[in-house]
Amino acid sequence: MSSNNVGVIGVGQSEYVTRRTDVTFPELVREGALLALADAGITMDDVDAVVFPLAPDALIGVGNGERWCVEALGASGKPFMRVNNGGATGMSAIIAAWTHVASGMFDVVLVAGADRVSESGSAQSVLNKMWDVGYERPVPLNTITMLALSAMRYNHLYGADETDMARVTVKNRRHASLNPKAHLRTPITVEEVLASRTLAWPIKLGDACPSSTGAAGAVLVSERYARAHGLQPAWIRGIGQNTETFWMGDRVGPRLVSDHADADALATAFQRAYAQAGVTDPASQLDVAEIYAPFSSVELHVIEAAGLCEKGEAPERIAKGDFALGAKGTIVNPSGGVLCSNPIAVTGVARLAEATLQVQGRAGAHQVDGARTAVASAIGGDHQFYSALVLSNDLEEIA
């Protein structure tokens, strides 16, 4: 651990919905920030710096949208940093804030942002532009077709099928029905998932996340600030980041760099966070995992990358009822996860927020009994940027 421990003293999330017509984008960002500040019991006057997560500008329709939001946040005169790592943006922003606090530069850093994915017109057309113009963009690759290839490879390699994917959706929708912030809250059956229209085989509409609008924020503080003010944060015990090849062609075929079925580069990010936190057996030491999985197929290999089971075992474990609220062991995405709410720029902040609520015993109807330690993760780019962090309700050794 760093000699300067860092804790989370406040988190805030708006409700995630398809569209908000009652606020402008800066007003939506401010909404999430004010919720986090209120939860922390402080104001912007107490904040030393702001980190602003914002994914591709095209999703909000304004170039350099961070400039639009400085005054709305009341951040004029303070250090202000924008972060963009695609889907990993929110958690990359959290780690940037952690770094500034752990270094001793700041005592209080606010992470606040928002997204309105559904208002982009066609999010997948926007996301298609991340690929190489000559080799991959014309396919046309987007996040759905990219991860359909991954799902096909996983199912082929480990003997899984569309029913295994559907069970992930059923679990997460049940969890989301208990979470008043979640976008998709209606429970669903395996049969209903399988009957939904195909987007890119084997991914169906029921396997896919929504295009969400919403805001999220978090307040990170130094240990000295927390002690001086009598606060009891959720402590960030370890962080990990990693990247892998940009080229989809490097993930398939006999000369692949990494197998598209798995998330080995993400596993490295998890391992780095675990090493810093002192987690040696995540399956027994972690109570909660809020993992980034925007499609049902992704959750299967992320569970495995997180060390919660061996490669290829996730489908069988989920079929047995593991990883669900009420089961023994680590509970995965008790909030409903990204599959039920995905405001891309702040989805990683939401993972941190949900993990914080869990270890502090404040998650309401989707609270995991006795939760003390949680891991959160995020994925960005074309499954290229990976972030993970471990949270605990105290600074004692993780049992």
Confidence of residue 38 (pLDDT cuts 50, 70, 90): very high
Q: Nearest-CA neighbor of 285 among 237, 352, 347, 356?
A: 237
Radius of gyration of the chain (CA): 19
Helices (H), the chain: 25-40, 70-73, 89-102, 123-127, 143-158, 162-176, 190-195, 223-228, 264-277, 282-285, 296-305, 314-319, 347-359
Antiparallel, parallel or unpaired: β 385-392 and 234-243: antiparallel
Tokens of 169: 């959706």
Does pLDDT of 2 surpass 60?
Answer: no
What DSSP designation does 197 have? P
Report the alpha-carbon distance of residue 171 to residue 65 in Å, rounded: 36
Q: Nearest-CA neighbor of 47 among 37, 56, 59, 57?
A: 37
The CA distances from residue 258 to 261, 270, 295, in Å, are 9, 17, 20
- Report cis status (omega within 30 of 0) of the bond before 140: yes
Window from 20-29, 57-66, 282-291 with minimum mean pLDDT: 57-66
pLDDT digits (tens, 9 = 90+) for 207-227: 999 989 999 999 999 999 999
pLDDT digits (tens, 9 = 90+) for 90-141: 999 999 999 999 999 999 999 999 998 776 666 666 666 666 677 666 777 7
**What percent of the chain has pLDDT above 70?**
94
Q: Nearest-CA neighbor of 107 among 235, 5, 232, 240?
A: 5
pLDDT digits (tens, 9 = 90+) for 144-188: 888 898 999 999 999 999 999 999 999 999 999 999 999 999 999
- 236/146: higher pLDDT: 236
pLDDT of residue 1: 41
Window from 194-203, 283-292, 360-369, 380-389 with minimum mean pLDDT: 380-389
What number of other Cβ atoms are within 10 A of residue 397's Cβ?
A: 8
Distance between first and last Cα of the chain: 16
pLDDT of residue 128: 62
Antiparallel, parallel or unpaired: β 203-204 and 198-200: antiparallel
The CA distances from residue 294 to 37, 207, 342, 395, in Å, are 28, 8, 7, 32
Q: What is the pTM of this model?
A: 0.94
- 313/66: higher pLDDT: 313
Window from 75-79, 134-138, 377-381 with minimum mean pLDDT: 134-138
Ordered DSSP codes for 26-42: HHHHHHHHHHHHHHHT-
Report the alpha-carbon distance of residue 201 to residue 194 in Å, rounded: 11
Report the alpha-carbon distance of residue 247 to residue 245 in Å, rounded: 6
Report the alpha-carbon distance of residue 4 to residue 8 in Å, rounded: 13
